[in-house]
Amino acid sequence: MSDLSADQKYEIITRRVQEVLGADSIKAILAEGRSPKCYWGTAPTGRPHIGYFVPLTKIADFLHADVVVKILLADVHAFLDNLKAPLDLVAHRTKYYQHLLLAVFKSLGIPTSKLHFVEGSSYQLTKEYNLDNYKLCSIVSEHDAKKAGAEVVKQVESPLLSGLLYPGLQALDEQYLDVDFQFGGVDQASRKIFTFAELYLPRLGYRKRAHLMNAMVPGLAGGKMSSSDPNSKIDFLDTPEAVRKKIKLAFCEEGNVEENGILSFVEAVLIPISELRISRLQGDNVVEEVGEQKPFVSAGAPEGTVYSVERDEKHGGSLHYKSFAEMKADFASKVLHPKDLKTSVAASINSILDPIRAAFAADDEWKRIEALAYPDPNAKPEKKKKKEKVYHPPPPGKGKDAKASVDVQASEEGPRTSEVAEAHVVVAS
């Protein structure tokens, strides 16, 4: 928004971010009246899960502050990631990710016209990019490459060269996407690569970029939410019943606010989405109305409420929170029961997944791509139909019965003229 001051824009860009590296460079750009440029990248490997709501919701803040946002679909990185998928499969998954991300942004009311999607292979296979990659290889030690990429690409006793290239490629992306900062998770994987980029890009003659990191949401069973563990995450296309079942089974011990994936999801996703929708109701034109944009606030809730947990009157009535800190305190003191929290969270998640599921159901092309990107591992291959044999008679004088038919014909016709003449000669002698 052009009427925001540089300080206001910086506050919006960095709110709910756990760590900022290079804050001064962002402030300097804003002070000059320019719009910062950033990128968020994702490697199209496993099916995206609702943990992606964390960075995607934050991207709404970037757009609010007039940041130019590029979404990198890192197809080359996906191929290098321990060779989880061949190139043709990665190509299908790249298309699947783009369909899904667009649907998610629309469900959040984020204007997709302001987003720029870029496939990594569109520039990572160029002569210039590869030459810079070779330059990096000439100055980066094996130790630094392994250290930076250890969390992203599984390291083994004898690591593949592809895993050692990964950090350098992600560093070069900042230069070739022409951005001012990169946005990612605060996990060790991203942080190590970010500091790697800050160290090595200047050695190639390029400027150091800033880096913003959001908190990582714990999985439903504790630990990290992962695409490879179906019990730790909820898929964007899971059915409403599947969502309720997974939330019901999620770890959410009464009074325990540590490593609590349900509470963390409310803090990182549901409350920010609710605030985004409240701002729209107040006249903020940053978001677009796509599907239901109702905040997660009950009718009659006190002014300033950002999240409501609806409960039966016999259990004390609904609870209304103006901040996550209030909810966390209630849960720690056991005022808010896990069952009530889970019921509310499941309903909220289903409400934001409904338009995504509807978009998928109405898009035959997306469904076709999904079947190619994530084929059913238990599906039995179709049996090839045997071709019917068609009898083609051999030409005259050919085939296994040809000699027999000639002999029969000869016996019926009698001796040839030359044979009769030969017989006469024998008799004469």
Stretch 357-385: mean pLDDT, rounded? 88
Of residues 261 and 39, the one with the higher pLDDT is 39
Mean pLDDT, the chain, rounded, equals: 86
- 231 in the Ramachandran plot: left (φ > 0), alpha (ψ -120 to 50) or beta? alpha
Stretch 375-399: mean pLDDT, rounded? 72
At residue 338, does pLDDT exceed 90?
A: yes
Residue 373: the pLDDT is: 95
Residue 420: the pLDDT is: 45
Pairing of strands 210-214, 68-73: unpaired
pLDDT tens string 47-64 = 999 999 999 999 999 998
pLDDT tens string 9-41 = 999 999 989 999 999 999 999 999 999 999 999
pLDDT tens string 98-146 = 999 999 999 888 888 889 999 999 999 999 999 999 999 999 998 999 8
Stretch 337-366: mean pLDDT, rounded? 96
Of residues 83 and 348, the one with the higher pLDDT is 348
Cα–Cα distance list, 225 to 233, 273, 309, 389, 405 (Å) = 6, 20, 24, 55, 80
Q: How confident is the model at residue 230 (pLDDT cuts 50, 70, 90)?
A: low
Q: How confident is the model at residue 191 (pLDDT cuts 50, 70, 90)?
A: confident
Of 283-297, 305-319, 373-387, the range with the highest mean pLDDT is 305-319
Q: How far is CA 209 from the centre of its chain?
A: 24
At residue 343, does pLDDT exceed 90?
A: yes
Residue 149: the pLDDT is: 80
Minimum mean pLDDT among 64-68, 167-171, 281-285, 392-396: which range? 281-285
At residue 254, does pLDDT exceed 80?
A: yes
Stretch 208-226: mean pLDDT, rounded? 78
Phi, psi of 99 (to 5 degrees): -60, -45
Which one, of 58, 53, 61, lies nearest residue 284 by Cα? 61
Residue type, 412: E
Of residues 82 and 202, the one with the higher pLDDT is 202
Residue 111: the pLDDT is: 81
Residue 381: the pLDDT is: 65
Q: How confident is the model at residue 282 (pLDDT cuts 50, 70, 90)?
A: confident
Stretch 240-263: mean pLDDT, rounded? 93
CA distance 257 to 106: 32
**CA end-to-end distance (rounded Å), the chain:** 126
Residue 112: the pLDDT is: 84
Residue 422: the pLDDT is: 47
State both tokens at 1: 């928004």
Residue 163: the pLDDT is: 81
The stretches of 125-186 forming alpha helices (DSSP H) are 127-139, 142-149, 161-176
Residue 215: the pLDDT is: 84
At residue 428, does pLDDT exceed 70?
A: no
Residue 279: the pLDDT is: 85
At residue 399, does pLDDT exceed 70?
A: no
